[in-house]
Structure formats: C-alpha cells, structure tokens
Amino acid sequence: MFKGLTLKLKGLRVEPVSFDPAALGDDLAARTEWGAAKGGGASFRTHRLVEVDPTRTEFRATRGAVVFYSIFLGIGLAVMVGFTVATLALDASGEFPLIAPVLFGLIFTGVGGGLLYFGTAPIVFDKRRGEYWKGRVAPYEAGSHRALKHYADLDRIHALQIISEHCRSKNSSYYSYELNLVLDDATRMNVIDHGSLDQMRLDAERLAVLLGKPVWDATA
C-alpha cells in the first residue's frame, strides 16, 4: 500500500522518449539505456545544487520539496491525534472504533515520513575522496562503499545523461527529467528526477565542469 501511494504521488505511467544515441559520436552511448532509470518523477523542482567547498558539491532538497513532504507527514499525524482526541471525548468508554482513522493516519504518516527522510538525504560529489554517493551515511562512515546502494568512484563516471519522462496519473500529466550518471560499463545511476528542465541543464553543466565529463542531453 505504501509503494502504491508513493507511485501515485510520483506519476503512475512513464512513457520513454525516442532518442538516437549515435548523434553523440560515442560508442558507449549506443550501449547505454535511454529509457527511464527510475520510474516516476515530480512536476516541480526537488533539488538544488550546492557547492560546499571547492572539492565537494551536493544536491540538497529544495524548500518546496521539504514543505510538500511535510504536508503528508502533518496530515497523518493530525488525523491520528485529532480522531483519537475526538473519539475519547465523545465516547468515554473507548469502544468507538479507531482502527480506520488510525490506519489512514498511519499511511499518510508513513508516506510523508518516508518522502521526507529519503527525499532530503544528501547527494554528494566529493572530488577530494574521488567518490559519489547518495544517503546520510558516507562511505568512510559505513566502513566500506560496498555497504552503500548508491555509490560510484568518480573516475568511473563517463558522462552525465539527461532524459525526459512523460508521467501520467489519473488526474494529471506532466514531464519529469532525470539526471543520471553513465558509468564506464554503460550502466547508469540515477542522481535526481524532477520537473524543471532548465535547472536540470544548468546543474548538469556545473557538474560537467566539476567532473570534466560531457553532458548527454536527450531532451535537446
């Protein structure tokens, strides 16, 4: 149920965009996937690129994203507390069924808490250490980068890929844009996925300068 609600929030259907990788003049591009690396997306900008110091750059959640995630968390908590207080006030015996509103509140709290926790996790490019990772635990804190799901050595990054996704839900339709890392074996790692193409391109160009890698823009 949690997964289903999250997918609805991010768009239920994604349509791949046609693109000819031969136009890039790079053999690795032909071996690279050009569909969505991560299903779903967002219709608004979720991350901003921040230069922490000359050797470290991070994507951090925007204020709008934090507010959006917090709304779901707040709704869930308000429903649980509100229904509990109202029920106890109206029914001193405590026999009035609380299961439905509590479950409803738990669902929203879980979705909001999950979005807030994972959506605000730092996304780091550390040139001094030569590492990229996504998450609250750095490789040197985890003891081994093998313990991290989203990790890559910077020297394995071959290019930065921008692709578009047409996301559809029951009542809306919008485009979301992915920024992916293309590694030297043609595999990909998703970095961010949101609805501002102009900002996505600007951030990709800044990262391209930092990493000394090309940008493969399938939306141009």
Whole-prediction pTM value?
Answer: 0.79
Q: Judge whether residue 13 has pLDDT over 60.
A: no
Q: Would residue 211 count as lying in a domain?
A: yes
Angstrom distances, CA of residue 190 to CA of 134, 152, 159: 10, 11, 12
User: Which of helix, strand or coil describes residue 6?
Assistant: helix
The verdict on residue 61 lying in a domain is yes
Q: Which of 65, 69, 187, 211 is nearest to 130 (CA)?
A: 211
- Position 45 scores a pLDDT of 95
Q: Is 18 part of any domain?
A: yes
Residue 99 in any domain: the answer is no
**Full DSSP string of 38-96:** SS---SS--EEEEEEETTEEEEEE-HHHHHHHHHHHHHHHHHHHHHHHHHHHH-TT--S
159: part of which helix (H) or strand (E)? strand 157-168
pLDDT tens digits, 37-87:
987 788 899 999 999 999 999 999 999 999 988 887 888 788 777 776 766
Residue 179 lies in a domain: yes
Residue 202 lies inside a defined structural domain of this protein? yes
Residue 90 within any structural domain of the chain: no
Please say if the pLDDT value at position 95 is more than 60.
no
What digits encode the pLDDT tens for the residues 103-121?
Answer: 777 777 888 888 888 889 9
Domain count, the chain: 1
Does some domain include residue 100? no
**pLDDT (tens digit per residue) in 131-160:** 999 998 888 887 776 778 899 999 999 999
- How much is the pLDDT for 8? 47
Residue 65 CA to residue 200 CA, distance in Å, equals 15
Range of the domain at 57: 2-70+115-217
- Contact yes or no for 124/138 (Cβ under 8 A): yes
